[in-house]
């Protein structure tokens, strides 16, 4: 068996074992999981503009806002102290747009001492907003491959085992972003993994808004989006597999605030209440991709999609995707035939590309019509 096949077999075995652990032994299976963590769905005509301004997010209800009260320090002995101090006040909102594999974030924070701009050859000595995303909720370790022992790795990037682990495993099936708040003369994010390219456009985008100097107090607004990946290899996006985001499904997600005040870190406040979230996706929170809030939908709006299910026999399946309460459907297939079914299958008599199909829907809020020109094609 080739070395490549052995490597792939090992990774597959680890992922399968991790998935079983995530489903059956998840440390998040506590009473705290009764909280429904939600990701707000933006209508596609109101998706956020990445400019560091929060006005696009004013439509997000308070039930989607996660603040100090949700965080706990799990490394520096402060516990829930962030909820009882004026030192640091944070607010996080997460959004998505159906049809785009992107997660949008609005991070707003007020700090009495913004620590940024200090150079460290070890990576950072600055205020950090750290997020971890597991797009397919697979769970399990994603930084250190459990086939290696601590002695095999030992944070020594000169060792062959460490290099092998990093280039084939770290960040591949879940991703860790250390985001500088704000950056000075450096990249906006440090990726803990081999896939540095996920921090570049068009895999992600970001903007800041603040007006303070290092050591001063003030408010920072960070607006950004990232692309989650089921498979994010060192080789780049051309080899990667994006996570498919679908309404009603859930992803693994959590974040940490690393607070510095000019010296050593003074808090690792995280949403998971467990530091292991930074390297093991089983410790992330489960976030649900929510539908559009009812008050943002049209009372009635016709819409539909289709699939040619039998090109030889010219059979097409039509699917109603209208918004609102619908009591009546009328399909006009443009060939003299009609249907009052919600999701009909129609057999055309003639091939061609200039077909015009219209769906008219009716309900308590009135009537709506939607036509597609030259989209249904038969050859």
DSSP letters, 126-163, are: S-EEEEEEETT---SBSSS-TTS-HHHHTT-TTSHHHH
Question: Which of 261, 294, 327 represents a domain boundary (last residue)?
Answer: 294
Q: Would you say 297 and 44 are in contact if contact means Cβ atoms under 8 Å apart?
A: no
Q: Would you say 346 and 331 are in contact if contact means Cβ atoms under 8 Å apart?
A: yes
Q: What span, in angstroms and rounded, lies between the C-alpha atoms of 93 and 70? A: 13
Mean pLDDT (whole number) for 325-336: 98
Based on the domain organization, do 230 and 307 belong to the same domain?
A: no
Work out the percent of the chain whose per-residue pLDDT is above 70.
87
Based on the domain organization, do 24 and 99 belong to the same domain?
A: yes
What's residue 78's pLDDT? 67
Question: Which of 294, 329, 344 represents a domain boundary (last residue)?
Answer: 294
What's residue 21's pLDDT? 39
The band of 85, judged by pLDDT with boundaries at 50, 70 and 90, is low
Based on the domain organization, do 290 and 323 belong to the same domain?
A: no
- pLDDT tens, position by position, 144-172: 999 999 888 888 888 899 999 999 999 99
The band of 76, judged by pLDDT with boundaries at 50, 70 and 90, is low
Q: What span, in angstroms and rounded, lies between the C-alpha atoms of 330 and 24? A: 48
Q: Which CATH number covers residue 340?
A: 2.60.40.10
Closest CA to 256 of 6, 72, 52: 72
CA 100 to chain centre: 10
Q: What span, in angstroms and rounded, lies between the C-alpha atoms of 291 and 212? A: 38
Based on the domain organization, do 215 and 313 belong to the same domain?
A: no
Q: What span, in angstroms and rounded, lies between the C-alpha atoms of 193 and 174? A: 9
Q: Would you say 14 and 147 are in contact if contact means Cβ atoms under 8 Å apart?
A: yes
Instruction: Please tell me the total count of domains within the chain.
Output: 2
**Which residue range forms the structural domain that includes residue 209?**
3-294
At residue 69, φ and ψ (nearest 5 deg) are: -65, -15
Based on the domain organization, do 197 and 331 belong to the same domain?
A: no
Based on the domain organization, do 120 and 167 belong to the same domain?
A: yes
SS3 32: helix
What's residue 114's pLDDT? 94
Phi-psi region of 55 (alpha: psi -120 to 50; beta: other; left: phi over 0): alpha
The band of 188, judged by pLDDT with boundaries at 50, 70 and 90, is very high
Q: What span, in angstroms and rounded, lies between the C-alpha atoms of 25 and 50? A: 39
What's residue 77's pLDDT? 63
- pLDDT tens, position by position, 203-243: 999 999 999 999 999 999 999 999 999 999 999 999 999 99
Question: Please, which residues have CB within 8 angstroms of residue 262's CB and are 6 or more apart in sequence?
Answer: 113, 115, 215
Question: Which of 294, 314, 329 represents a domain boundary (last residue)?
Answer: 294
Q: Which CATH number covers residue 100?
A: 2.60.40.1190
Based on the domain organization, do 212 and 94 belong to the same domain?
A: yes
Query: Does residue 379 sit within a domain?
Result: no
Whole-model pTM over 0.75? yes
The band of 34, judged by pLDDT with boundaries at 50, 70 and 90, is low
Q: What span, in angstroms and rounded, lies between the C-alpha atoms of 68 and 226? A: 23
Q: How many CB atoms lie within 10 A of CB 149?
A: 10
Encoding tokens for residue 42? 């933006």
Based on the domain organization, do 260 and 325 belong to the same domain?
A: no
* Residues forming a β-bridge with 288: 38, 250
What's residue 152's pLDDT? 87
Instruction: Please determine, for residue 95, whether its predicted confidence score (pLDDT) is greater than 70.
Output: yes
Q: What is the DSSP string of 282-345?
A: GGSEEEEEPPPPGGGS-SEE--EEEEEEETTTTEEEEEE--EE---EEEEE-SSS-EE-SSS-E
Q: What span, in angstroms and rounded, lies between the C-alpha atoms of 39 and 97? A: 10
Q: What span, in angstroms and rounded, lies between the C-alpha atoms of 26 and 287? A: 15
Encoding tokens for residue 279? 């390297």
Based on the domain organization, do 284 and 302 belong to the same domain?
A: no
What's residue 4's pLDDT? 43
Q: What is the DSSP letter of 361?
A: E
The mean-pLDDT minimum among 74-88, 116-130, 231-245, 257-271 falls in 74-88
Instruction: Please determine, for residue 6, whether its predicted confidence score (pLDDT) is greater than 50.
Output: no
Average pLDDT, the chain: 90
Based on the domain organization, do 284 and 316 belong to the same domain?
A: no
Q: How far apart are the first and last CA of the chain?
A: 47
Based on the domain organization, do 213 and 330 belong to the same domain?
A: no
If one compares 118 and 10, the residue with the highest pLDDT of the two is: 118
Work out the percent of the chain whose per-residue pLDDT is above 90.
78
Q: At CA 125, angle to CA 120 and CA 130, rounded to 5?
A: 120
Query: H or E segment at 5?
Result: helix 3-24
Mean pLDDT (whole number) for 38-43: 98
What's residue 79's pLDDT? 66
Query: Does residue 378 sit within a domain?
Result: no
SS3 for 219-257, per residue?
EEEEEEEECCEEECCCCCHHHCEECCCCCCCEEEEEEEE
- pLDDT tens, position by position, 275-330: 999 999 999 999 999 999 999 999 999 999 999 999 999 999 999 999 999 999 99
SS3 for 329-360, per residue?
EEEECCCCCEECCCCCEEECCCCECCCEEEEE
């Amino acid at each position: 068996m080739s070395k490549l096949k052995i490597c792939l077999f090992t990774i597959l075995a680890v992922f399968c074992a991790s998935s079983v652990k995530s489903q059956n032994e998840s440390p998040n299976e506590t009473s705290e999981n009764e909280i429904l963590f939600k990701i707000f769905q933006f209508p596609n005509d109101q998706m956020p503009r990445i400019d560091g301004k929060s006005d696009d997010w004013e439509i997000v209800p308070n039930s989607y806002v996660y603040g100090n009260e949700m965080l706990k320090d799990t490394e520096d002995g402060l516990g829930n102290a962030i909820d009882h101090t004026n030192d640091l006040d944070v607010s996080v909102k997460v959004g998505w747009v159906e049809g785009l594999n992107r997660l949008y974030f609005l991070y707003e924070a007020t700090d009495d001492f913004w620590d940024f701009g200090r150079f460290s050859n070890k990576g950072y000595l600055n205020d950090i907003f750290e997020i971890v995303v597991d797009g397919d909720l697979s769970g399990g370790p994603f930084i250190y491959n459990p086939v290696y022992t601590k002695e095999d790795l030992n944070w020594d990037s000169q060792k062959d085992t460490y290099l092998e682990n990093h280039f084939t495993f770290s960040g591949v099936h879940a991703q860790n972003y250390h985001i500088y708040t704000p950056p000075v003369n450096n990249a906006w994010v440090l990726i803990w993994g081999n896939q540095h390219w996920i921090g570049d456009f068009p895999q992600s985008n970001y903007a800041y808004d603040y007006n303070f100097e290092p050591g001063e107090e003030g408010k920072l607004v960070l607006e950004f989006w990232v692309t989650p990946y089921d498979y994010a290899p060192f080789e780049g996006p051309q080899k990667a597999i994006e996570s498919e985001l679908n309404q009603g499904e859930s992803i693994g997600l959590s974040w940490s605030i690393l607070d510095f005040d000019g010296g050593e870190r003074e808090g690792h406040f995280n949403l998971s209440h467990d530091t292991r979230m930074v390297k093991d996706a089983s410790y992330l929170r489960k976030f649900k991709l929510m539908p559009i809030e009812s008050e943002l939908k049209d009372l009635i709006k016709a819409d539909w999609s289709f699939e040619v299910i039998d090109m030889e026999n010219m059979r097409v399946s039509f699917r109603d995707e209208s918004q609102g309460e619908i009591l009546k459907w009328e399909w006009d297939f443009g060939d003299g035939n009609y249907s009052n079914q919600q999701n009909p299958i129609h057999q055309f008599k003639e091939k061609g590309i200039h077909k015009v199909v219209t769906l008219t829907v009716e309900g308590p809020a009135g009537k709506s019509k939607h036509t597609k020109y030259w989209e249904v094609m038969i050859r």
